[in-house]
A and B are shown apart, each in its own frame.
Chain A
């Protein structure tokens, strides 16, 4: 492990123009350290911030200059304090000079490690690079950067630059940005560099690989085109899912006084006879694997397995080439491999490049048979696709995807959408609305792709590591809600949705979805749950004498005493769908009766309660009709009789029409619903 220790210096721009994203920078950098604490806890790290009011670094004291750069943390082995430091970055007051910061970082690495640890030393610069760097005393800025880059290469240092742009730097000087971008690109010509541009807080979180994974070859050997023609290649994994960490089980049995307790839990498996006649444990060597064959089980010993095992020779052979369109994308089975020519082997590089380009030109892919290692018991057949490099320094390569065998494919037949009857087909307007949605909800407008997988962190993992850090400090901390920045990954961008509100409205207008009967059922369950849940809450009040405290009694009629409860009970009776209809009808009649014969001193109180219950029920059942009808009748009645208090009462409790947003079947807009009772005053007779 120690061999691979990484020495990293973070160079963070904290100048005023960066303040908007600093909280994301804090999250990103502390995540980096948090993961190092788990996965590579011997790594060493230093932190430099630039753009600060003060200056505090070796160079400024030794040679002068290098103003506004503060070494926040000298290089040291990662620890918890570093996390804390990075979570509270200072807010700077001046526009920093990133080149000075790079020199300070290099100086720290050189002083600490001399020229040891080549290739393990790394600088990581996070800046928006929108402010000009200082002119050098002699020569041009370019020359200066060139010199620094050469020195960096000689010392075996790498640099990674994350440039925060996009809407954070809208009003920045384009000329300065271009100059800075050019200067940064010089590094990539001279040294090992990675420069990424990010334009959203979300992609900033994904911009830095917070966990270092040493690449391991899956295969080194020949890519065999024919027995006479072989190319030396190395194969790596290109993508691999990062799994949620497997947590160990914790035992609390050891007494607190035992300081050496490991608290580990051992999981032991014992095998016992199923018939239970003897309770004795069967030792592992006495066990044998049985394979089901119909009702029978066939025991096959390991020795027998070994005898029949398929033991192919290690090697990769090209079976042939085919047109790229013949290989369907959905057939890709697993994570992806990368084939590169053996590093340093010019002939192999040339050969790989030639074949890749030929394949690209002819739109062809190769089918390969792969046995990665000796002793592998299966053969992988897959498709090799060319990856033509866009960068002069990187040679062409291939991607390899595993394809399924016949046994892996299940050919279910599905009717094509085209073969459905015309009544199921979208009409022109629907088609147009849908087309518009696809057009407007473009995540990659003019080449700027949002949520680029490379820069999109897995929100679950992010959340876990953040919570881990929190819990280390507060053991009883509750899981906090998902971070706003991470929410952007799992929910549609609210800005994009707001911009395209008209498109969504059109979509709603043209696609009237029918409520799924299954969902209806669950709404009835909701009623039942609500009812049983409300048992606990009802105390005193008008409703005690309802069925609530009794065993479920079938309600077949809505009574005078507790109409609301009877209604709810009836709605939740699921044995016959007619109950719903009956319940709505009866409650409606009850309400009308209550209007004509107001009950007691609080007059319309009971009627209003019933209206409220009916409204809720009709929304849940998505049956706005009966309710809206009733409301019209009530309004008419009140207008005729000049009753003012009831409409006011209803309006004050928002008991207006059910609008389209509440029940799809309604033809009342939200606006109409809102003004339903308001309207009645100016024109007394409708």
Chain B
């Protein structure tokens, strides 16, 4: 690993062409927002903004709308589909009952979000009852299973593209923790089994199913009734899965925002504790200034994009310079010239890794020892964990060293 020491903590912030939110095509996601539209979603309310009660359906739809608006700016290569289930009307490729895929013109079902999608989705509630309608899809005495259908449709939508090049996710919004609760034993058992199998099939294809539950004011969403099996939670995970009782819109938005941020490792770096002992760490940029997205220059007459051509011109002769030029620093009445490689060599004072120099009490870390936002480090998967406490100390040390003088302590 031969890094420019300055690059060790260099991240998007320094890289003008690639701000954090400007994701590249290679890290894109395919997301299906799967929203329960059962009458229960309309009947149940929770406190929204301004103390006004909002329906759960409104909460879910607002969340999706908010998420789309972030996505279009920050992750515009992501492809999304919006799909309702427990609907009166049906619209999907498989022609399954109770599932309605919402879309707008000039757009495939699973496609990049467009301004038009956002605009029309923003007023979906006005036309929802008229055009799509709400209706329980799982009723006693019927073989219909709208949840099963919904998962199937979502999986079909995500058939596009390879799992190697994109993450595929289904985000499921519902306030029904027991979808088959109204059914009798045999039917219930059967439907539960087929639905779980459907979910498992999707997961086997690399699709992750995530649940965003809404709790009713009187009873909390009980994830273990049914969904724990569907999303594959058990033991400790189950205890940790805080449905976080999304009673409020803000909570839900928060939840979704957190989910939409996929962890991105800025850099993998070796942390050398002693001569023969080092662990591999991932670094994450948890706090970085957000800037408006990168701009594209356009021709104001035609609105066509422009490309930039950079050329180096000798000021003395006006000749074009092709090869990468030498650099110079005026010094002692003359120009001292450097090759670009020489500059790189000067900066390379040690191999790019973190080196433990020692520890200091936290009180040595003064408030004014700060230059840049901090970087979070976390051991990468393959290492055996060392000590808890030490780890914490290491992190502290690390933070201090980072904050002190960037180059001084690290490498």
A interface list, Cβ under 8 A from B: 34, 37-38, 79-80, 238-241, 244-245, 247-254, 258, 261-275, 282, 286-297, 299, 301, 329-336, 338, 385, 387, 399, 401, 404-405, 407-414, 417-420, 424-426, 430-431, 433-435, 437-438, 441-444, 449-451, 453, 456, 458-460, 463-464, 467-469, 471-472, 475, 479, 482, 486, 489-493, 496-497, 504, 507-508, 511-514, 516-518, 661
Q: Which residues of A contact B286 (CB under 8 A)?
A: 330, 409-412
Report how far A609 CA is from B20 CA in the complex, Å. Answer: 54
Q: Which residues of A contact B115 (CB under 8 A)?
A: 293-294, 296
Report how far A332 CA is from B288 CA in the complex, Å. Answer: 10
**CB contact between A250 and one of B76, B335, B386, B403 (< 8 Å): that residue:** B335
Q: Which residues of A contact B406 (CB under 8 A)?
A: 241
| Distance (whole angstroms) from the CB of B407 to the closest CB of chain A | 5
Query: A282, B293: Cβ atoms under 8 Å?
Result: no
Query: B338, A410: Cβ atoms under 8 Å?
Result: no
Query: B301, A401: Cβ atoms under 8 Å?
Result: no
Query: B386, A426: Cβ atoms under 8 Å?
Result: yes
The contact string, 1 if C-beta is below 8 Å from chain A, for chain B 60-72, is 0000000000001
Report how far A239 CA is from B406 CA in the complex, Å. Answer: 12
The contact string, 1 if C-beta is below 8 Å from chain A, for chain B 305-342, is 11111111111110101000111111111111110001
| Distance (whole angstroms) from the CB of A388 to the closest CB of chain B | 12
Other A-B contacts than A267-B312, A295-B76, 19 sampled, CB-CB below 8 A, are A252-B326, A262-B315, A264-B316, A265-B315, A266-B312, A271-B306, A274-B307, A290-B298, A292-B73, A292-B293, A413-B258, A438-B390, A459-B408, A479-B346, A490-B411, A491-B355, A492-B358, A496-B358, A504-B277
**CB contact between B388 and one of A299, A409, A425, A486 (< 8 Å): that residue:** A425
Report how far A291 CA is from B303 CA in the complex, Å. Answer: 12
| Distance (whole angstroms) from the CB of A572 to the closest CB of chain B | 21
Q: Which residues of B contact A334 (CB under 8 A)?
A: 370-373
Query: B382, A517: Cβ atoms under 8 Å?
Result: yes
Chain B's closest residue to A336 (CB) is B368
B219 at the interface (CB under 8 A from A): no
B128 at the interface (CB under 8 A from A): no
Q: Which residues of A contact B52 (CB under 8 A)?
A: none
Chain B's closest residue to A254 (CB) is B316
Which residues of B, 57-94, contact A by the 8 Å Cβ criterion?
Answer: 72-73, 76
Query: B349, A460: Cβ atoms under 8 Å?
Result: yes
Report how far A241 CA is from B9 CA in the complex, Å. Answer: 14
**CB contact between B305 and one of A248, A251, A274 (< 8 Å): that residue:** A274
| Distance (whole angstroms) from the CB of A84 to the closest CB of chain B | 10
Query: A414, B408: Cβ atoms under 8 Å?
Result: no
Closest 10 CB pairs of A and B: A434-B390, A247-B327, A434-B387, A254-B316, A426-B387, A443-B358, A251-B314, A288-B300, A253-B314, A407-B290
Q: Which residues of B contact A271 (CB under 8 A)?
A: 297, 306-309
**Stretch of B34-42, B181-189, B209-217, B359-367 lying at the A interface:** B359-367
Report how far A292 CA is from B23 CA in the complex, Å. Answer: 12
Query: B355, A269: Cβ atoms under 8 Å?
Result: no
Chain A's closest residue to B294 (CB) is A292
Chain B's closest residue to A247 (CB) is B327
Report how far A437 CA is from B394 CA in the complex, Å. Answer: 11
B404 at the interface (CB under 8 A from A): yes
Q: Which residues of B contact A248 (CB under 8 A)?
A: 327-329
B16 at the interface (CB under 8 A from A): no
**CB contact between A513 and one of B5, B325, B384 (< 8 Å): that residue:** B384
Chain B's closest residue to A457 (CB) is B408
Q: Which residues of A contact B314 (CB under 8 A)?
A: 251, 253-254, 265-266
**CB contact between A405 and one of B290, B304, B306 (< 8 Å): that residue:** B290
Report how far A412 CA is from B282 CA in the complex, Å. Answer: 13
Report how far A479 CA is from B349 CA in the complex, Å. Answer: 11
Query: B370, A250: Cβ atoms under 8 Å?
Result: no
Report how far A420 CA is from B278 CA in the complex, Å. Answer: 20
Chain B's closest residue to A80 (CB) is B332
Give the size of the chain B interface in residues (CB under 8 angstroms): 119
B350 at the interface (CB under 8 A from A): yes
Query: A329, B355: Cβ atoms under 8 Å?
Result: no
What are 28 A-B residue pairs whose CB atoms fall within 8 Å in the complex? A240-B371, A248-B329, A249-B325, A254-B314, A265-B314, A271-B307, A273-B306, A273-B307, A275-B304, A288-B300, A294-B72, A296-B115, A297-B305, A299-B303, A333-B372, A413-B258, A426-B388, A434-B386, A467-B346, A468-B336, A471-B338, A491-B350, A492-B357, A504-B277, A508-B274, A513-B278, A513-B383, A514-B382
Report how far A661 CA is from B333 CA in the complex, Å. Answer: 54
| Distance (whole angstroms) from the CB of A445 to the closest CB of chain B | 10
Query: B347, A460: Cβ atoms under 8 Å?
Result: yes
Report how far A292 CA is from B296 CA in the complex, Å. Answer: 7
Q: Which residues of B contact A449 (CB under 8 A)?
A: 360, 364
Query: A250, B328: Cβ atoms under 8 Å?
Result: yes
| Distance (whole angstroms) from the CB of B232 to the closest CB of chain A | 16
Query: B408, A456: Cβ atoms under 8 Å?
Result: yes
Report how far A254 CA is from B316 CA in the complex, Å. Answer: 6
Q: Which residues of B contact A274 (CB under 8 A)?
A: 304-307
B224 at the interface (CB under 8 A from A): no
Q: Which residues of B contact A438 (CB under 8 A)?
A: 359, 389-390, 393
Q: Which residues of A contact B331 (CB under 8 A)?
A: 34, 37-38, 468-469, 472
The prevalent SS among residues of B at the interface is mixed
| Distance (whole angstroms) from the CB of B303 to the closest CB of chain A | 6
Query: B299, A282: Cβ atoms under 8 Å?
Result: yes
Query: A435, B311: Cβ atoms under 8 Å?
Result: no
- Residue picked from B321, B346, B404, most chain A C-beta under 10 Å: B346
Chain B's closest residue to A242 (CB) is B405
Q: Which residues of B contact A80 (CB under 8 A)?
A: 332-333
Query: B287, A408: Cβ atoms under 8 Å?
Result: yes
Query: A290, B407: Cβ atoms under 8 Å?
Result: no
Q: Which residues of A contact B312 (CB under 8 A)?
A: 249, 251, 265-268
Query: B316, A261: Cβ atoms under 8 Å?
Result: yes
B356 at the interface (CB under 8 A from A): yes
Report how far A649 CA is from B340 CA in the complex, Å. Answer: 50
B228 at the interface (CB under 8 A from A): no
Report how far A417 CA is from B394 CA in the complex, Å. Answer: 13
**CB contact between A249 and one of B277, B327, B347, B383 (< 8 Å): that residue:** B327
B143 at the interface (CB under 8 A from A): no
Chain B's closest residue to A424 (CB) is B385
Report how far A489 CA is from B315 CA in the complex, Å. Answer: 42
Chain A's closest residue to B317 (CB) is A253
- With known contacts A270-B308, A294-B114, A333-B373, A247–B328 Cβ distance under 8 A: yes
Report how far A265 CA is from B300 CA in the complex, Å. Answer: 30
Chain B's closest residue to A298 (CB) is B115
Q: Which residues of B contact A387 (CB under 8 A)?
A: 367-368
| Distance (whole angstroms) from the CB of A467 to the closest CB of chain B | 6
Chain A's closest residue to B268 (CB) is A518
Chain B's closest residue to A243 (CB) is B6
**CB contact between B371 and one of A241, A264, A292 (< 8 Å): that residue:** A241
B7 at the interface (CB under 8 A from A): no
| Distance (whole angstroms) from the CB of B70 to the closest CB of chain A | 9
Report how far A299 CA is from B114 CA in the complex, Å. Answer: 16
Query: A419, B319: Cβ atoms under 8 Å?
Result: no
**CB contact between B357 and one of A301, A431, A491 (< 8 Å): that residue:** A491
Query: B368, A451: Cβ atoms under 8 Å?
Result: no
Q: Which residues of A contact B336 (CB under 8 A)?
A: 468, 471-472, 475
Q: Which residues of B contact A405 (CB under 8 A)?
A: 290
Query: B370, A239: Cβ atoms under 8 Å?
Result: yes
B179 at the interface (CB under 8 A from A): no
Q: Which residues of B contact A512 (CB under 8 A)?
A: 384
- Residue picked from B382, B391, B406, most chain A C-beta under 10 Å: B382
Query: A444, B364: Cβ atoms under 8 Å?
Result: yes
Query: B114, A408: Cβ atoms under 8 Å?
Result: no
**CB contact between A453 and one of B261, B334, B404 (< 8 Å): that residue:** B404
B289 at the interface (CB under 8 A from A): yes
**CB contact between B277 and one of A258, A266, A426, A507 (< 8 Å): that residue:** A507
| Distance (whole angstroms) from the CB of A211 to the closest CB of chain B | 14
- With known contacts A253-B314, A286-B299, A472-B336, A333–B289 Cβ distance under 8 A: yes
